[in-house]
Chains A and B, each alone.
Chain A
Amino acid sequence: MSNTRVSRRQFLRGLAVVGASMPLLQACGGGEQPAAESAESGDAPAPSREMTTVRYAQVIAPLDKQVEMFNEQSDTVQVEFELVPWGEHADKLLIDVAAGTAPDLWFIGGPWWIPLKRKKVALSISNFLDSDPDVVIDDFEFPADSDWGMIDGDIYGLPTNSVILRGLAYNENLFEAAGLDLPNADWTLADVAAAGPQLNRGDESYALPAPLLAGDLYLTTIWQNGGQIISDDETKCLLDRPEAVEAVEQLVAWTEFSMEPGATQALGDAPPASGKIAMWPMVLADWDSWLRLTNNDTTNQWMTYWPTPSNPPAREISAGSVHMEAIWSESKEVDAAWEFFIWRAINQDSLDYQITLFPINYRMAETVERVITNERQSAFLTLHLPIVPQSTGEFWGPSTTEILNAFRSEYELAVLGEKTAKEAMESATVAIDVILEDA
């Protein structure tokens, strides 16, 4: 046995060679997964048929149970659930698509859907829908064959849940304490403005949370007042027209009796659960969020439709955040992806589970009736059904987020009193026209 000693220099040199080689060796090793996971399954029998695996990206964590349900009953397709945070899901999908590594199936928030649809990132599913004997198109709550999901007569995606519409939540105790009648479906924005000042009663009661947090209400209000964001041919911004300006003025007027921006935070992570806010915008029928925002439905609050600018409104329409699901147009496993896609959308077991969380898009009324035993939850979930037919997805134009940001920054100046609503909308129009030129 030789007694060769390795000098420190030789050792370091060897270490450098090994260290530098590692990434190269790993890169050359390919993407095969170790067999350890399959070994963990113990003595389970080998599947008799070949399994196809598809990837499904979703932002709603509890939906992994649907994937489990599907995987248990399918002997040909296995779905891998990929949970993505809401705040990053669109960015991540965009990068994955550009890199050619997008999931076979994905969830996408409403504002990002239109650009993706127009660029055909989603697969046309018209043929699948037509040839699937289990699908009844008319049973989709939000029409599957609406403009929102279609281009040139083809359907490219399905709403992941029923259209999400805004309603007015109100605290009955605070209205009674102020000696006011409860809001109802006939209320206009002027009724809110009239009740607002009386609902501000020191630290006991606040009329409304900050108007900067009003989410997508501007669009609904502008449309209902007969206004438009952009022209039909998408070449001109129309926010400086009187109908749009008037609608924005009505929303801005609420700042007189709304909480200061940021002040709601002092009431906790779910401010309405404090029982101190008299009115607040809330998604109609999202029971899961409702429980969180109302301290498990213990704060004596209820919902009505979002007030219109006038009664009747100039235009019978509501804007909703219609989140979509679609199959990636470059997916290598289109048939397998479709199998899960449509199972999740229309299978009754799947629907029965999902309705316990939030609205569904397929046979919602029937499913609520057979699954939901809590009367209040049942009434809540079906509250928005009458206005679904007059609703559409939130659409701010061909460069949605850019136009929305241009609008918001000017709207904020109006809310902060640094510009009139008219001045703000005129500035927004100039900025958006530049965006449209380039779109």
Chain B
Amino acid sequence: MSTDVKRARSGARTARMSRTALFENVAGFLFISPWIIGFLAFEFGPLIAAGYLGLTKYDILTDPRFVGFANFDKMFTRDPLFWKSLGVTAVYSLSTVILGIILGVALAVLLNQSVRGLSLYRTIFYLPAVISGVAVAYMWIWVFNSEAGIVNTLLDYVGIDGPNWLFSTTWTLPAFIMMSLWAVGGGMVLYLAGLQGVPTQLYEAAALDGAGRWAKFQNVTLPMISPVIFFNFIIGIIASFQVFTNSFVITKGGPANATLFYVLYLYRHAFENFKMGYAAALGMILFAIIMTLTIISFRLSNRLVYYEGRIT
């Protein structure tokens, strides 16, 4: 190795390790240290612990006993409620994510127009995203009440005899899917930001090419906001698989397990049935499901998402 090259490398190292850089690095790490500590203590640590506890029989009150893969064996071969809760959650997740994206984009497009009182509309649509989940759950109990609820009252006006939404094995899950759309304003704000970042010259160019409204939306708007849609899709999948509050408060998983969501089932084992080992195993499966769906989504995103400026 030549002397010049050695000197150059040494100089570069000195530059990297200068006092200023060192202090800035330390300061940076100190600034994010509360988050790092929180992550290690409350997320990564429990994740590792759950991985171990999933291989044990653990009732919280006595020491865990190692049982290998017995919890997973029971889950896949002898626990019908595991499959039931997975099925209920998958249907809910698929429905809420797709409907949430469609409705969120539609609302964002509407609120991206120049009309009076736009800020007010945006605030109104976003408001549900910041209201306490439990308070909202109690509101939905009344909204879907079979006798005095607003939904059945409105249906009654148009001559439809509304179902008993929260006590029917057929209608309870659809009711929960409708409830989820209440918080669509959270995604809408992101779509709106995406829409406002679409360069106007692209629309002008499309117009010169003779594109109509739908063609502009399909060929300009959608590709340009596809990264935002993809982000909301991933977040939506993760959040919908962890749905808990509404079923815990409103139906307790009923009627007849029609709203037995996966996390509610996990919660029951952990804190009602004294089966923390089994609950931890359920948690690991949930982690694997979400991780797998996220990886698949990222793989698909290469074909479906357009990133401006990316060299392909």
Contact = CB atoms under 8 A, between A and B. Distances in A.
A435 B301 CA distance: 43
Q: Which of B59, B79, B269, B273 has the most CB of A within 10 A?
A: B273
A416 B31 contact: no
Contacts of A265: 141-142, 145, 147-148
Which range holds the interface residue count of chain B? 35 or more
A95 to B, nearest CB: 8
Contacts of A261: 146, 164, 166-167, 255
A135 to B, nearest CB: 28
A259 B283 CA distance: 39
A410 B61 contact: no
B22 to A, nearest CB: 11
A351 to B, nearest CB: 32
A115 interface: yes
B256 A413 contact: yes
A293 to B, nearest CB: 19
Interface in A228-257: none
A387 interface: no
Given A13-B23, A266-B147, A413-B169, A23 B34 contact: yes
A20 B33 contact: yes
A402 B273 contact: yes
A315 interface: no
Nearest to A405: B268
A119 B61 contact: yes
Interface string B125-167: 0000000000000000110011110000000000000001011
A212 to B, nearest CB: 7
A335 interface: no
Interface string B259-299: 00000000011011111000000000000000000000000
A11 B11 CA distance: 30
B227 interface: no
A8 to B, nearest CB: 12
Contacts of B167: 210, 212, 260-262, 416
A19 B79 CA distance: 48
B27 interface: yes
Which range holds the interface residue count of chain A? 35 or more
B79 A434 contact: yes
Contacts of B34: 19-20, 23
A409 interface: yes
Nearest to A22: B34
A23 B37 contact: yes
A95 B271 CA distance: 8
Contact of B31 (A16, A116, A119, A412): A16
B146 A262 contact: yes
A100 to B, nearest CB: 11
A416 B268 contact: no
B257 A98 contact: no
B80 interface: yes
Nearest to B276: A98
A110 to B, nearest CB: 14
A91 to B, nearest CB: 4
Contacts of A91: 271-272
Contact of A402 (B37, B145, B254, B272): B272
B148 A266 contact: yes
A410 B80 CA distance: 13
A256 to B, nearest CB: 16
A190 interface: no
Interface string A17-30: 10110010000000
Contact of B169 (A20, A90, A418): A418
A270 interface: no
Interface in B193-233: none
A97 B167 CA distance: 36
A121 B164 CA distance: 43
A317 B191 CA distance: 63
Q: Which of A13, A262, A412, A438 has the most CB of B within 10 A?
A: A262
B146 A402 contact: no
B8 to A, nearest CB: 29
A270 to B, nearest CB: 15
A418 B168 CA distance: 10
Contacts of B27: 12-13, 16-17
A185 interface: no
B30 A20 contact: yes
B16 interface: no
The 4 tightest CB contacts between A and B, nearest first, are: A261-B167, A266-B148, A266-B147, A16-B30
Interface of A: 12-13, 16-17, 19-20, 23, 90-91, 94-95, 97-98, 115-116, 119, 121, 210, 212, 260-263, 265-266, 399, 401-402, 405, 408-410, 412-413, 416, 418, 431, 434, 438
Given A20-B31, A399-B273, 8 more contacts: A17-B30, A91-B271, A94-B61, A94-B274, A95-B60, A95-B271, A261-B166, A265-B142
Interface of B: 23, 27, 30-31, 33-34, 37, 59-62, 74, 78-81, 141-142, 145-148, 164, 166-169, 253-257, 268-269, 271-275
17 contacts: A13-B23, A90-B272, A95-B271, A97-B60, A97-B61, A98-B60, A260-B167, A261-B167, A262-B146, A263-B146, A265-B141, A265-B148, A266-B147, A401-B268, A402-B268, A402-B272, A431-B80
